[in-house]
Amino acid sequence: MQIVRDDIMGMPITIDIPAGTKEAVGEVLDYFVAIDNRFSTYKNESEISKINRNEISEDEYSNDMKKIFMLAKQTTKETNGYFSIIKSDNTIDPSGLVKGWAIHKAAKLVESFGYKDYFIDIAGDIQSKGVDTEGKEWTIGIRNPFDTTTMVKVLAPHGKGVATSGTSVRGQHIYNPHKYGSILDDVVSLTVIGPNIYEADRFATAAFAMGKSGVAFIEKTEGLEGYQIDPKGIATMTSRFEQFVI
Protein backbone atom coordinates (compact mmCIF):
# COMPACT_ATOMS: atom_id res chain seq x y z
CA MET A 1 0.00 0.00 0.00
CA GLN A 2 1.03 3.59 -0.40
CA ILE A 3 0.99 6.28 2.20
CA VAL A 4 1.79 9.97 1.90
CA ARG A 5 2.39 12.14 4.94
CA ASP A 6 3.58 15.68 5.43
CA ASP A 7 3.38 15.95 9.17
CA ILE A 8 6.53 14.07 10.05
CA MET A 9 10.06 15.54 9.90
CA GLY A 10 8.63 18.73 8.39
CA MET A 11 8.96 17.13 4.94
CA PRO A 12 6.69 15.19 2.59
CA ILE A 13 7.09 11.44 3.03
CA THR A 14 5.85 8.79 0.60
CA ILE A 15 6.08 5.11 1.41
CA ASP A 16 4.90 2.66 -1.20
CA ILE A 17 5.16 -1.05 -0.56
CA PRO A 18 2.93 -2.70 -3.17
CA ALA A 19 2.51 -5.92 -1.20
CA GLY A 20 2.82 -4.19 2.14
CA THR A 21 0.40 -4.38 5.01
CA LYS A 22 -0.85 -1.35 6.90
CA GLU A 23 1.22 -2.51 9.84
CA ALA A 24 4.42 -2.69 7.83
CA VAL A 25 3.97 0.82 6.47
CA GLY A 26 3.03 1.98 9.97
CA GLU A 27 6.29 0.63 11.37
CA VAL A 28 8.27 2.62 8.83
CA LEU A 29 6.38 5.78 9.75
CA ASP A 30 6.98 5.12 13.45
CA TYR A 31 10.66 4.78 12.69
CA PHE A 32 10.73 8.17 10.98
CA VAL A 33 8.90 9.78 13.89
CA ALA A 34 11.52 8.38 16.26
CA ILE A 35 14.31 9.69 14.04
CA ASP A 36 12.73 13.12 14.01
CA ASN A 37 12.33 13.13 17.79
CA ARG A 38 15.99 12.38 18.19
CA PHE A 39 17.61 14.43 15.44
CA SER A 40 15.40 17.41 14.73
CA THR A 41 17.05 20.73 15.57
CA TYR A 42 13.56 22.24 15.43
CA LYS A 43 12.44 20.19 18.40
CA ASN A 44 13.52 21.64 21.74
CA GLU A 45 13.48 18.29 23.49
CA SER A 46 15.32 16.30 20.83
CA GLU A 47 18.61 14.71 21.73
CA ILE A 48 20.46 16.92 19.26
CA SER A 49 18.96 20.08 20.73
CA LYS A 50 20.02 18.97 24.20
CA ILE A 51 23.50 18.26 22.90
CA ASN A 52 23.65 21.71 21.37
CA ARG A 53 22.70 23.20 24.74
CA ASN A 54 25.40 21.08 26.40
CA GLU A 55 22.82 19.28 28.52
CA ILE A 56 24.14 15.84 27.65
CA SER A 57 27.69 14.65 27.99
CA GLU A 58 29.35 12.58 25.30
CA ASP A 59 29.15 9.31 27.20
CA GLU A 60 25.39 9.79 27.46
CA TYR A 61 24.85 9.99 23.71
CA SER A 62 22.53 7.36 22.25
CA ASN A 63 23.98 4.70 19.98
CA ASP A 64 22.32 6.24 16.95
CA MET A 65 23.75 9.66 17.79
CA LYS A 66 27.23 8.23 18.20
CA LYS A 67 26.82 6.43 14.90
CA ILE A 68 25.76 9.58 13.09
CA PHE A 69 28.67 11.57 14.51
CA MET A 70 31.05 8.83 13.41
CA LEU A 71 29.58 8.75 9.91
CA ALA A 72 29.72 12.54 9.73
CA LYS A 73 33.40 12.55 10.65
CA GLN A 74 34.08 9.95 7.98
CA THR A 75 32.14 11.94 5.37
CA THR A 76 33.96 15.15 6.26
CA LYS A 77 37.23 13.35 5.64
CA GLU A 78 36.10 11.78 2.37
CA THR A 79 34.91 15.09 0.99
CA ASN A 80 37.91 17.20 2.04
CA GLY A 81 35.79 19.07 4.53
CA TYR A 82 33.04 20.07 2.10
CA PHE A 83 30.61 18.05 4.13
CA SER A 84 30.28 19.22 7.70
CA ILE A 85 27.59 18.90 10.34
CA ILE A 86 29.08 21.76 12.32
CA LYS A 87 27.47 25.06 11.45
CA SER A 88 29.06 28.50 11.42
CA ASP A 89 27.66 29.19 14.89
CA ASN A 90 29.30 25.99 16.15
CA THR A 91 26.03 24.16 16.68
CA ILE A 92 25.63 20.68 15.26
CA ASP A 93 23.07 20.00 12.57
CA PRO A 94 23.31 16.46 11.24
CA SER A 95 20.28 16.74 8.97
CA GLY A 96 22.41 16.53 5.82
CA LEU A 97 23.33 13.01 6.82
CA VAL A 98 20.37 11.80 8.88
CA LYS A 99 17.77 11.91 6.13
CA GLY A 100 19.60 9.58 3.75
CA TRP A 101 20.75 7.36 6.56
CA ALA A 102 17.24 7.05 7.99
CA ILE A 103 15.72 6.19 4.61
CA HIS A 104 18.46 3.62 4.08
CA LYS A 105 17.71 2.02 7.45
CA ALA A 106 13.99 2.12 6.75
CA ALA A 107 14.62 0.30 3.47
CA LYS A 108 16.53 -2.38 5.37
CA LEU A 109 13.61 -2.63 7.77
CA VAL A 110 11.20 -3.16 4.89
CA GLU A 111 13.46 -5.85 3.44
CA SER A 112 13.61 -7.54 6.82
CA PHE A 113 9.82 -7.92 6.58
CA GLY A 114 10.41 -9.88 3.36
CA TYR A 115 9.38 -7.25 0.82
CA LYS A 116 11.37 -6.96 -2.38
CA ASP A 117 9.47 -4.06 -3.88
CA TYR A 118 9.27 -0.68 -2.21
CA PHE A 119 9.58 3.06 -2.73
CA ILE A 120 10.56 5.39 0.11
CA ASP A 121 10.72 9.11 -0.53
CA ILE A 122 11.44 11.89 1.94
CA ALA A 123 11.39 15.28 0.25
CA GLY A 124 12.90 13.95 -2.94
CA ASP A 125 15.56 11.69 -1.39
CA ILE A 126 14.47 8.34 -2.71
CA GLN A 127 15.32 4.70 -2.19
CA SER A 128 13.40 2.32 -4.37
CA LYS A 129 13.68 -1.33 -5.24
CA GLY A 130 11.91 -3.71 -7.59
CA VAL A 131 8.64 -2.73 -9.22
CA ASP A 132 5.43 -0.85 -8.56
CA THR A 133 1.86 -2.22 -8.41
CA GLU A 134 1.78 -2.38 -12.21
CA GLY A 135 4.95 -4.44 -12.30
CA LYS A 136 6.98 -1.56 -13.75
CA GLU A 137 10.30 -0.30 -12.43
CA TRP A 138 10.06 2.76 -10.24
CA THR A 139 10.79 6.01 -12.09
CA ILE A 140 11.98 9.32 -10.71
CA GLY A 141 11.79 12.74 -12.30
CA ILE A 142 14.37 15.44 -11.68
CA ARG A 143 12.47 18.57 -10.76
CA ASN A 144 13.03 21.65 -12.92
CA PRO A 145 14.71 24.00 -10.44
CA PHE A 146 13.27 27.01 -12.34
CA ASP A 147 9.71 25.73 -12.35
CA THR A 148 8.86 23.25 -9.68
CA THR A 149 5.74 21.99 -11.46
CA THR A 150 7.77 20.39 -14.25
CA MET A 151 10.63 17.92 -14.67
CA VAL A 152 13.78 18.04 -16.76
CA LYS A 153 14.80 14.38 -16.69
CA VAL A 154 13.19 11.01 -16.13
CA LEU A 155 15.24 8.29 -14.46
CA ALA A 156 14.88 4.61 -13.79
CA PRO A 157 17.41 4.15 -10.97
CA HIS A 158 17.29 0.32 -11.01
CA GLY A 159 17.37 0.03 -7.25
CA LYS A 160 19.93 2.77 -6.62
CA GLY A 161 19.48 5.72 -4.28
CA VAL A 162 18.66 9.16 -5.71
CA ALA A 163 19.18 12.45 -3.89
CA THR A 164 19.16 16.05 -5.08
CA SER A 165 20.86 18.94 -3.37
CA GLY A 166 20.00 22.48 -4.17
CA THR A 167 18.57 25.69 -2.89
CA SER A 168 15.74 24.32 -0.85
CA VAL A 169 12.13 25.02 -1.61
CA ARG A 170 12.06 27.13 1.53
CA GLY A 171 14.87 29.31 0.28
CA GLN A 172 17.62 28.10 2.54
CA HIS A 173 21.08 28.23 1.14
CA ILE A 174 23.77 25.64 1.45
CA TYR A 175 26.98 27.25 2.55
CA ASN A 176 30.48 26.31 1.62
CA PRO A 177 32.00 25.18 4.94
CA HIS A 178 35.36 26.41 3.71
CA LYS A 179 34.03 29.92 3.27
CA TYR A 180 31.37 30.68 5.81
CA GLY A 181 29.24 33.58 4.62
CA SER A 182 29.56 32.77 0.95
CA ILE A 183 26.24 31.91 -0.62
CA LEU A 184 26.49 29.32 -3.36
CA ASP A 185 24.90 30.42 -6.58
CA ASP A 186 26.78 28.72 -9.41
CA VAL A 187 24.90 25.44 -9.14
CA VAL A 188 21.17 25.34 -8.58
CA SER A 189 20.59 21.62 -8.46
CA LEU A 190 22.77 18.53 -8.20
CA THR A 191 21.20 15.08 -8.46
CA VAL A 192 23.32 12.15 -7.34
CA ILE A 193 22.65 8.48 -7.98
CA GLY A 194 24.51 6.24 -5.56
CA PRO A 195 24.62 2.60 -4.47
CA ASN A 196 22.03 3.49 -1.83
CA ILE A 197 20.27 6.62 -0.63
CA TYR A 198 22.69 7.16 2.27
CA GLU A 199 25.65 7.41 -0.13
CA ALA A 200 23.71 9.49 -2.66
CA ASP A 201 22.49 11.92 -0.02
CA ARG A 202 25.75 12.59 1.81
CA PHE A 203 27.67 13.09 -1.42
CA ALA A 204 24.97 15.25 -2.96
CA THR A 205 25.17 17.55 0.06
CA ALA A 206 28.98 17.71 -0.01
CA ALA A 207 29.32 18.06 -3.77
CA PHE A 208 26.76 20.86 -3.88
CA ALA A 209 28.91 22.85 -1.48
CA MET A 210 31.78 22.51 -3.96
CA GLY A 211 29.97 24.63 -6.52
CA LYS A 212 30.77 24.03 -10.19
CA SER A 213 33.35 21.36 -9.33
CA GLY A 214 30.76 19.25 -7.57
CA VAL A 215 29.93 17.16 -10.61
CA ALA A 216 33.65 16.55 -11.19
CA PHE A 217 33.92 15.22 -7.65
CA ILE A 218 30.98 12.90 -8.33
CA GLU A 219 32.61 11.76 -11.58
CA LYS A 220 35.83 10.93 -9.77
CA THR A 221 34.09 9.02 -6.98
CA GLU A 222 33.50 5.35 -7.58
CA GLY A 223 29.86 4.26 -7.67
CA LEU A 224 28.31 7.70 -8.08
CA GLU A 225 26.69 9.40 -11.06
CA GLY A 226 25.41 12.95 -11.16
CA TYR A 227 23.43 15.59 -13.03
CA GLN A 228 24.26 19.18 -12.16
CA ILE A 229 22.21 22.18 -13.30
CA ASP A 230 23.63 25.72 -13.37
CA PRO A 231 21.69 28.99 -13.05
CA LYS A 232 21.47 29.28 -16.85
CA GLY A 233 19.72 25.96 -17.27
CA ILE A 234 22.78 24.14 -18.56
CA ALA A 235 23.24 20.68 -17.14
CA THR A 236 26.52 18.78 -16.77
CA MET A 237 26.38 15.03 -16.30
CA THR A 238 28.88 12.37 -15.26
CA SER A 239 30.06 9.92 -17.89
CA ARG A 240 27.78 7.04 -16.95
CA PHE A 241 24.74 8.99 -15.87
CA GLU A 242 22.80 8.27 -19.04
CA GLN A 243 22.36 4.60 -18.25
CA PHE A 244 19.67 5.70 -15.80
CA VAL A 245 17.85 8.04 -18.18
CA ILE A 246 14.65 6.96 -19.87
Partner 1 sequence: MLLIKKIFLSLIIFVASLEYVWYQNITIPTSPMLTTSEKVVQTKKVVTTPAVFTMAPTKHTTVTAPRKRGRYKNGTYTGIAADAYYGNVQVKVKVRGGKLTSVIFLQQSGNDSTSRYINGIAMPQLKQEAIQIQSAKVSGVSGASYTSAAFRKSLANALKQANNI
Specify the DSSP class assigned to residue 242: G
Query: Which residue, 9 or 48, is less far from partner 1 as judged by CB?
Result: 9
Least separation, in Å, of the C-beta of 30 and partner 1? Answer: 22
Helix pair 95-112, 197-209: axis angle to 10 deg: 170
Query: Which residue, 63 or 150, is less far from partner 1 as judged by CB?
Result: 150
58: burial class by Cβ within 10 Å (0-12, 13-18, 19+)? exposed
Least separation, in Å, of the C-beta of 12 and partner 1? Answer: 10
Residues that bind partner 1 (CB under 8 A): 14, 16, 119, 121, 124-126, 128, 132, 138-154, 162-169, 171, 181-183, 185-186, 188-189, 191, 212-213, 215-216, 219-220, 229-239, 246
Query: Which residue, 8 or 56, is less far from partner 1 as judged by CB?
Result: 8
Query: Which residue, 88 or 182, is less far from partner 1 as judged by CB?
Result: 182
Least separation, in Å, of the C-beta of 93 and partner 1? Answer: 18
Paired residues of 122 in beta bridges: 13, 125
Rounded-to-integer distance, Cα 12 and Cα 125, Å:
10
Least separation, in Å, of the C-beta of 151 and partner 1? Answer: 5
Least separation, in Å, of the C-beta of 83 and partner 1? Answer: 17
Least separation, in Å, of the C-beta of 201 and partner 1? Answer: 11
32: burial class by Cβ within 10 Å (0-12, 13-18, 19+)? buried
Q: Hey, which bits of 34-160 come out as E strands? A: 118-122, 125-129, 140-144, 147-155
Distance separating the N- and C-terminal Cα atoms of the chain: 26
Query: Which residue, 42 or 146, is less far from partner 1 as judged by CB?
Result: 146
Query: Which residue, 70 or 151, is less far from partner 1 as judged by CB?
Result: 151
Phi/psi-derived region of residue 19, left when phi > 0, alpha when psi is between -120 and 50, beta in every other case:
alpha
